């Protein structure tokens, strides 16, 4: 299938509507703080492909005692990618008093570690959201290439598929990551696994308003995950029930 045919297939499958439903079910925006000792604040969707997609800011989070806004639809993107590719996906579903992409001691990072070790994960893709004002479609954070651990082919593949699907305003490392306790840094430095932080423009994260652009980036990520996991890329979407 061509890139246009793949995008059209996802549009016909209405994955934008799927994402909107998932967002309402799992990733409710609220300032209510849940105790992680009483309620599991995370949603883990297991897969059978050796790729982990992470969405640590899928709901509001707390950094230095201040509630920060969520990166909307990153959680449902992780879920949909799980159903389409068989990758493992992890997202925060409850405001629990921490920030997985900032805190050093972190139960989210502990969960990432457990998933990676138990499932022989080969690469971690950490999803984040950026406003349209930044001027890029997507910024790929690799701490200047260090988080790839010499496996630059992951970056090359991602850029290749993004370009094939018409996503060409690609920047790299605009967001400061060195010296911060990001998921990408933790994964590469502590777990010794290549990782990338993707800052995705809101243009591609509003499936209810712009389903074509949402399907465009999802198709690119599907192909990247498929190849990175050692699988051929499928021609048609396949959904799990929820």
All structural domains of the chain: 3-228 (3.40.630.40)
Task: Please give the mean pLDDT across all residues of the chain.
Answer: 92
Share of the chain above pLDDT 70, in %: 93
Between 30 and 198, where is the model more confident?
198
Identify the pLDDT of residue 177.
59
Contact call for residues 99 and 62 (beta carbons, < 8 A): yes
Rounded to 5°, angle at Cα 198 from 189 and 215: 145
pLDDT value, residue 74: 98
* Residue 65 pLDDT: 85
pLDDT greater than 70 at residue 235: no
For the ranges 13-22, 136-145, 204-213, 232-241, the lowest mean pLDDT is seen at 232-241
The average pLDDT across 132-149 equals 93
Chain CA centroid to CA 236, Å: 21
Q: Label residue 175 by pLDDT band (50, 70, 90).
A: confident
What mean pLDDT do residues 2-10 have?
Answer: 95
- Average of per-residue pLDDT across 107-119: 98
Placement of tokens 């990551």 in the chain: 177
| pLDDT, position 162 | 98
Backbone φ and ψ of 167, nearest 5°: -100, 95
Q: Are residues 78 and 124 in contact, defined by beta-carbon separation less than 8 angstroms?
A: no
- Contact yes or no for 122/53 (Cβ under 8 A): no
Q: Is the pLDDT of residue 82 over 70?
A: yes
Q: Residue range 128-146: average pLDDT? A: 92
Q: What is the mean pLDDT of residues 50-75?
A: 94
What pLDDT is recorded for position 230? Answer: 79
Helix (H), strand (E) at residue 78: helix 74-85
Reading the block at residue 122, the tokens are 């080969």
Contact predicate 96/59, CB 8 Å = no
Average pLDDT value for residue range 95-121: 96
Task: Look at residue 178 in the predicted model and tell me its pLDDT.
Answer: 57
The two three-digit tokens of residue 214, written as one number: 């949402």
Average pLDDT over residues 231-235: 52
* Tokens linked to 97: 């008093």
* pLDDT confidence bin for 238, thresholds 50/70/90: very low
pLDDT at 64: 85
């Amino acid at each position: 299938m061509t890139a246009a045919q793949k995008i059209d297939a996802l549009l016909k499958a209405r994955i934008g509507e799927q994402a909107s439903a998932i967002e309402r079910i799992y990733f409710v925006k609220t300032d209510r703080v849940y105790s992680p000792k009483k309620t599991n604040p995370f949603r883990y969707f297991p897969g059978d492909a050796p790729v982990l997609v992470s969405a640590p800011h899928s709901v509001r989070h707390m950094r230095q005692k201040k509630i920060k806004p969520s990166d909307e639809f990153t959680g449902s993107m992780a879920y949909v990618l799980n159903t389409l590719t068989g990758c493992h996906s992890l997202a925060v579903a409850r405001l629990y008093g921490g920030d997985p992409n900032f805190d050093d001691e972190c139960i989210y990072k502990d969960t990432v570690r457990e998933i990676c070790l138990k499932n022989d994960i080969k690469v971690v893709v950490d999803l984040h959201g950026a406003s349209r004002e930044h001027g890029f479609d997507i910024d790929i954070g690799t701490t200047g290439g260090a988080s790839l651990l010499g496996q630059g082919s992951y970056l090359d593949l991602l850029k290749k598929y993004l370009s094939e699907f018409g996503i060409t305003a690609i920047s790299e490392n605009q967001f400061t990551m060195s010296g911060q306790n990001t998921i990408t840094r933790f994964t590469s430095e502590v777990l010794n696994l290549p990782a990338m932080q993707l800052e995705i423009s809101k243009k591609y994260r509003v499936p209810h308003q712009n389903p074509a652009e949402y399907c465009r980036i999802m198709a690119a990520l599907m192909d990247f995950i498929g190849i990175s996991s050692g699988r051929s890329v499928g021609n048609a979407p396949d959904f799990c029930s929820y």
